[in-house]
Structure 1
Amino acid sequence: MKIKFIIGVFFLMHTLSMFSQNKLVAYTYWFNDDTTNMQEVAFTPVTTHQLRTDFDVSALHDGANVLYIRYKDENGLYGSVLSKTFVKLPQPASSQNKLIAYTYWFNDDTANVQEVAFTPVTTHQLRADFDVSALHDGANVLHIRYKDENGLYGSVLNEIFVKQNIAISNNSIIAYRYWVGDDFSHSVEVALSNPAQQVMILDDFVVARVPKGNRTLYYQFADSMGLWSVVNQCDFYKNSLPVADFDYNMTVTCDSTVVDFIDCSVDGDSCFWDFGDSATSTERYPQHTYYSPGVYSVTQTVIDTTTFMDSTVVKTIHITGNSYAILDLVVCGNYISPSGKTYHASGTYMDTISNHLGCDSIITIDLTIKPLPDNGVTQKGIVLTANQTGATYQWLDCDDNFSEITHETERSFTPTKNGRYAVVVTLNGCSNASICHTVSTIGIVENTFNHDLVVYPNPTQGKINIDLGFSYENVSVKIQSLSGQIIKQKHYNNQQLLELDLDVAEGVYLLFIESKDVRAIWKIVKQ
């Protein structure tokens, strides 16, 4: 008795020595666990092989059996084992008994069993399309059984399939993923920029991080519908290739730092550590304590004691804790340290603040303090003169947000209008600003008041402030045009500070201030 199988095999080799032109040269097969009777069949070397052949199963027991097949390449290496379960039926009474039909149904719908007759044959190869449009989306089961000339049915064959509610043509591989051993959590997934029907994954499979010895590579493919294939596997042997690598965790205190080193190396039988501070270790997972902050170069060397191949890696670690710093400063006048201390003289000072760990950060300050220039100003009438000689100067308008007055960079300054003015004096790289000085006598025609009399602002946009310098019992104030017309007149009693609204047209006016036998006349400009 013979049974015929049609098996489509698309076999990808994944071994360390595989190249893109490596080919399949043979396959071996056996039944059940009978590996002593394994058979090998050679064929012309090919990269893809489709198996179509008959196998003699007359010596097998009736009932369920398993056929095992594996392929061999040009290097003599075998791929993963493929298996197929089948049922051998008892030998019919008549050797001429033939198959004449098959019946099929889906899921548990035996009420709609369909029978398809065909020309009597001893062996039947089923190639047919089945209409599944009425089935639900998702997993379904196709059941098939054959009928012979005696009207007897064979065992039921089952095939599980998934119906997708997606119309797709030219389905292709769009991605694949692979992992070694049981470590699926570290699987590597690769998306293809150009979907393909066949894929070689060797270009992305890096074996450097795989431990030496017998290993199994598992891989899956995703198609255009985003569905993953069954898991395939390939056994290989990884030769020893030591690769040094480590990680670490730190526990930081102010006076020390404890570092737990984690060995991440591959294929090293022995391990040597140099912690960068003259200390060493041969432990796999050493713990080391650093007592001084700084930058340390930690070296790990691993060795395969059989091949004597080795690998070394050096990593830099930063140890913190109490920190130190030196500041070399040249400042003007005085200096406020990071902790808030104020220094007025040159010298070397120690300052302490907390760093981000809450530990002391000790700062040595080499301080040079240069004196500030004299910021005093002498006022004579409307002329302002800086007291400091031999410096550079910049006069400021205090009433205009301390803006610099264009071209006023001499030691002396004569304003052209009443207001408040200051000067920035710069000497030997140090600058010092004066206080604001008031100039209010521009525009005075006559003044017999004994005290300093201030009228501001002048020019004005509508309001005039008068400071008599003393509280007078009776004061008369009037605004007069240049033609002699009295515009406004007001009286004040026992006041020093007077306020007057000048709600007149733009122009020049005379301001008269009188009290008993004293008076003052000012020119006022209304803008």
Structure 2
Amino acid sequence: MSVLLFLAMSQSIYAQQTIVEYEYWFNDDFNNRTITAITPVSQYHLDTMISVSTLPNGINVINFRAKDSQGKYSVITSQLFYKKELTDSDTNHLLSYEYWFDDDFQNKTVVDISPAEQTTVLAQLDVSTMSNGMHLFNFRAKDERGYYSSIAYQFFFKKTVTSSDTNYIVSYKYWYDDDYNNLIYVDLPTPTKQLNLIDNLDMTRIPKGIHTINFQFKDDANFWSVISTDTIEKISLPIADYTYEVLLSNCDSTVIAFTDNSIDGDMYLWDFADGTTDTLANPTHTFYNSGIHSVILTITDTTTLADSTKQMDILITGHTANSFAVMNCDSYTSPSGNYTYTTSGVYYDTIPNHWGCDSLLTINLTINYSDNITDVITACDSYTWIDGNTYTASNNTATFTLTNAAGCDSIVSLDLTINYTPDNTITQMGDTLISNADGVNYQWLDCNNDFSPIFGENNQNFTPTETGNYAVEVTNYECIDTSDCINVIIDNILENTFAGKIKIYPNPSDGSFYIDLENYYDKISISLANVIGEIVYQNNYYNTRLILINIENAKGIYFISISSADEIATFKIILN
């Protein structure tokens, strides 16, 4: 059996102290009193069920007092109640309740209700005929067996009411249970004589279960009403919430204490984002890995199975590790500056991070290499190189830097040989053409035969044997040039008194050539003299027209004399 106790306490308005504790005991059993500490408040409303199952049946008394912040106790408030022997019944229902003021039991008010196992009474009672001052409100209920409950007592104080036609409600305040320090104060936008309060109250931070809500209203005379109290039930709505505090932090580990501030959670699951979990409400955890840890708290109402999750990102300081790839040319110096690498591979280095702890670096290094190239060039007269400069003389000192396929420098060195184009002019002396270029290669050309090379004519001087146009191709290494065509008129017939036309061919000749007299002669005398008049060949021919002459090892210009009787002819021939 339990007693339902309603009690309102307040500290004197002239005192600065607050209520910090209350205690109660039954009958004269002071030594076994129950002491309860509360959050310091200026007034306290106690609404609780107290078990009296160990008390004897019959009349009992409950005694109550409060203690303030100075250690002083209030006067003792006592209340009689009657404990009956309980008779269990599944069909026991309440049928009515009754109440009266002070000791005026004869004028009690009886109210019938629909049969119910429990009932909540919320009513405004008229006390206008009662005198001002302290009064006692008495209440009891009756069940279907005719048994009455114990009498519930409540003291209240009736103040003098100041009547005014302009008396308006201007504000109100409310709080839950005994949490007066966190009351909600509301100013009405428009003062009103009567207030119908319809509002959505935020109960998300109140635990699930039965609670009391307390209201007080203030008028424009600055008077507060008595406290109105009602019982409400908060349906479970889990909301995960937590805070944390760093207890210890160094480069090797960080110890953090977590405090659960959740609502309506019966079961806890912490995920510390490092592969570990915990099911305590307020765990302490040690982190060994630095970085951002997304710590997740999941709470669950084990009755409704509703849950809620909160995640917070927590920065853990300490040693760090990082891997990265680097591609460099020729060599690479590690971030610490302690190592220089010239070959590809995986290397390790340590530097301090921004927390002053070690940062271990794993370096996947690729070394590419620069190129050194020599550009060997032979050019005529001048050459414009990749550096944009035009060189007119040989050079082996210039360099230029390019980028190779690996992205490194490609250093090109110039090895330039400049040859000069030979003089392509010709000097003509009689029938002889002379190239004005010295110390080069020569090739004489027949302009009349599509500039075809004249076989064997590779000297600086050239004497044509036939009238025509001639040029010379001069070559100095890769430098080649061709002269203008020079017209040469050749007259091989120096004298001829023969009636017929005499032909000598081939001319020039390699030493063998024919003389065609056109007619037959009884006797023909032929002699061959060089340019200084020496006879190198002489012979007579009889009764003939075509004569073959062979001269060996006799290169040069010769003069052929042909005579018969009183006829004579002289021709010029070139023997190669």
Q: TM-score range by the shorter chain?
A: 0.3 to 0.5
- So what's the TM-score if we normalise by structure 1? 0.38
- So what's the TM-score if we normalise by structure 2? 0.35
Larger Rg computed on CA atoms: 2
